[in-house]
């Protein structure tokens, strides 16, 4: 009986490890979202309620004057940055900037593309997503010029996240 | 009255936070996806040719299907026949065609359509499918936030049908119209936000006009309004509508509005 249980556990553990291994966007511990195009608290509340509907959200701190939402997420969540964009847009607005706090391992995986060569030895890093829909229209136009040599940036693949370190 | 309007305009054009949740016109922005908004609109307009007031009650339900598309259903109740009678209803939809947002500005463009039915008597040349005429309306609305002032404008085509079963549309009236609106809004309180529970106060002024396509008869009204947003979830509007110009027959152009609204965010799982 004990033997069967052990085999079972081992299989389960292997499965979990496999899942974790293929998971591209693990461990975003915090997301700082600045929304654009709104000044009313009812509009902010619409975004607030959209974000709260995510089961991975532990807490949201809101600065209504800058429309910045600091979202704390559950440990080990597998959220993609795309989720935040979808939620803000569902409320009728757009992301002006998205800064993620994550571990250094996460961003070494597929999907994240560092646009500058600066190295960062911190275990926990703060990154800003630079793709279309994650910065203001004006910033995107500027970035499109300065990053025109990065083929993946100009191709606008929604599963690629171009990032820069902030810490 | 004129002085009051000018004062209000001065207020609105001062740079500050602004709002676009207008009372009479709908901005190009939609209700959020999966939000159910319930509104009870009331209006009390003074009859020009007989004594008394014309009371209209309009319950409305609005639902945001996705970020670009919303639907609204309204019912029209009035006391035109001395007691409260449900005279008709309306379906409205709006699609956001274009948006561009920056940190302190946005521009949105939306197309909308409304179909209404009504069985009340037709008593004026003004075509109003919100509670008076059967018919449809279709048009565009653009809303711009420049720095901290919100300005919204719409143009639409409105066509009246017979108010079935008893009241055919009068042959000597023009049955189609061009409508135009221009709205300004500004948040006056709070100066600085601290939390979602704070009551917001908005001042607005809207200009609403119509020209009957067949004969060029027109009117232009001004609607100053004060709005309270409570708990970032409920809304109370108090507005006054005053005719500025008119060359058409209207039975009750001047009056007040009192609207109550409540929003259920993430209404359905």
User: Which band of pLDDT confidence, cut at 50, 70 and 90, is reported for residue A1?
Assistant: very low
CB B135 within 8 A of CB B116: yes
State the pLDDT at residue A38: 78
Lowest-pLDDT choice from A7-16, A28-37, A126-135, B43-52: A7-16
Q: Is A59 exposed, middle or buried (0-12, 13-18, 19+ CB in 10 A)?
A: exposed
CB B129 within 8 A of CB B151: no
The residues spanned by each domain of chain B are 2-36+43-231+239-263
- pLDDT tens digits, one per residue of A52-91: 999 999 999 999 988 999 999 998 898 999 999 999 999 9
**Which two structure tokens, joined as six digits, stand for A80?**
């993609």
Mean pLDDT, to the nearest integer, of A110-119? Answer: 80
CB B265 within 8 A of CB A49: yes
CB B69 within 8 A of CB B53: no
Q: Is B226 exposed, middle or buried (0-12, 13-18, 19+ CB in 10 A)?
A: middle
**d(C-alpha B158, C-alpha B179), whole Å:** 7
The residues spanned by each domain of chain A are 25-165
Question: What is the DSSP secondary structure assignment for residue A104, as one 8-state letter?
Answer: T
**Which two structure tokens, joined as six digits, stand for A16?**
């979990």
Asked if the C-beta of A165 comes within 8 angstroms of chain B's C-beta atoms, the answer is no
Partnered with residue B43 across adjacent β-strands are B56, B257
Interchain CB distance below 8 Å, A40 and B198:
no
State the pLDDT at residue B2: 58
Asked if the C-beta of A70 comes within 8 angstroms of chain B's C-beta atoms, the answer is no
Question: What is the DSSP secondary structure assignment for residue A66, as one 8-state letter?
Answer: T
Classify domain A25-165 by CATH number: 3.30.70.100
State the pLDDT at residue A22: 45
CB B191 within 8 A of CB B222: no
CA dihedral B47, B51, B53, B54 (to 10 degrees): -60
CB A90 within 8 A of CB B34: yes
State the pLDDT at residue A10: 56
* Average pLDDT of chain A, as a whole number: 84
Residues in CB range of A45: below 8 A, 6 or more apart: B196, B232, B233, B265
For residue A144, CA distances in Å to A115, A132, A162, B134, B207 come to 12, 9, 12, 51, 41
Instruction: Assess whether pLDDT exceeds 90 at residue A40.
Output: no
ipTM: 0.84
| Residues in chain B with pLDDT values less than 50 | 8-18
**Which two structure tokens, joined as six digits, stand for B99?**
């948006």
Q: Which residues of B touch A45 (CB under 8 A)?
A: 196, 232-233, 265
HSE (side-chain half, CA atoms, 13 Å) at A103: 10
Asked if the C-beta of A18 comes within 8 angstroms of chain B's C-beta atoms, the answer is no
Sheet holding A112-114, edge to edge: A57-63, A68-73, A28-36, A94-103, A124-129, A161-165, A112-114
Instruction: Assess whether pLDDT exceeds 50 at residue A20.
Output: no
**Which two structure tokens, joined as six digits, stand for B2?**
């004129």
- Report B:5-34 residues touching A (Cβ under 8 A): 17-19, 21, 29-34
């Amino acid at each position: 009986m004990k033997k069967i249980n052990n085999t079972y556990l081992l299989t389960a553990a292997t499965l979990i490890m496999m899942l974790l291994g293929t998971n591209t966007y693990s461990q975003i511990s915090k997301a700082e979202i600045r929304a654009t195009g709104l000044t009313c608290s009812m509009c902010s509340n619409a975004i607030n309620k959209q974000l709260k509907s995510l089961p991975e959200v532990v807490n949201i701190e809101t600065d209504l004057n800058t429309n910045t939402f600091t979202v704390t997420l559950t440990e080990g969540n597998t959220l993609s940055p795309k989720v935040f964009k979808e939620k803000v847009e569902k409320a009728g607005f757009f992301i002006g900037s998205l800064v993620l706090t994550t571990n250094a391992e996460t961003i070494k995986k597929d999907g994240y593309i560092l646009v500058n060569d600066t190295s960062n030895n911190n275990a926990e890093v703060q990154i800003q997503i630079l793709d279309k829909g994650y910065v203001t229209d004006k910033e995107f136009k500027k970035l499109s010029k300065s990053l025109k040599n990065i083929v993946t940036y100009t191709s606008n693949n929604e599963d690629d996240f171009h990032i820069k370190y902030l810490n | 009255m004129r002085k009051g309007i000018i004062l209000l305009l001065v207020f609105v054009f001062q740079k500050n936070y602004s709002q676009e949740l207008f009372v009479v016109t709908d901005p190009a922005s939609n209700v959020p996806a999966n939000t159910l908004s319930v509104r009870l609109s009331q209006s009390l307009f003074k009859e020009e040719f007989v004594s008394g007031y014309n009371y209209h009650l309009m319950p409305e339900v609005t639902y945001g299907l996705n970020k670009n598309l919303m639907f609204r259903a309204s019912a029209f109740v009035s006391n035109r026949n001395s007691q409260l009678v449900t005279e008709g209803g309306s379906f409205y939809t709006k699609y956001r065609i274009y948006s561009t947002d920056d940190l302190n500005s946005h521009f949105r463009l939306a197309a909308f359509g409304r179909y209404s039915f009504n069985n009340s008597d037709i008593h004026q040349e003004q075509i109003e499918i919100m509670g008076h005429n059967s018919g449809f309306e279709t048009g565009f609305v653009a809303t711009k936030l420049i720095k901290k002032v919100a300005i919204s404008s719409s143009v639409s085509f409105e066509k009246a049908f017979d108010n079935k079963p008893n009241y055919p549309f009068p042959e000597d009236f023009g049955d189609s119209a061009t409508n135009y609106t221009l709205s300004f809004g500004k948040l006056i309180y709070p100066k600085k936000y601290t939390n979602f529970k704070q009551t917001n106060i908005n001042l607005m002024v809207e200009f609403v006009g119509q020209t009957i396509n067949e004969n060029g008869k027109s009117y232009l009204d001004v609607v100053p309004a004060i709005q309270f947003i409570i708990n970032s979830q409920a809304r109370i509007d108090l507005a006054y509508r005053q005719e500025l110009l008119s060359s058409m027959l209207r039975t009750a152009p001047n009056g007040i509005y009192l609207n109550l609204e409540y929003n259920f965010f993430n209404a359905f799982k």
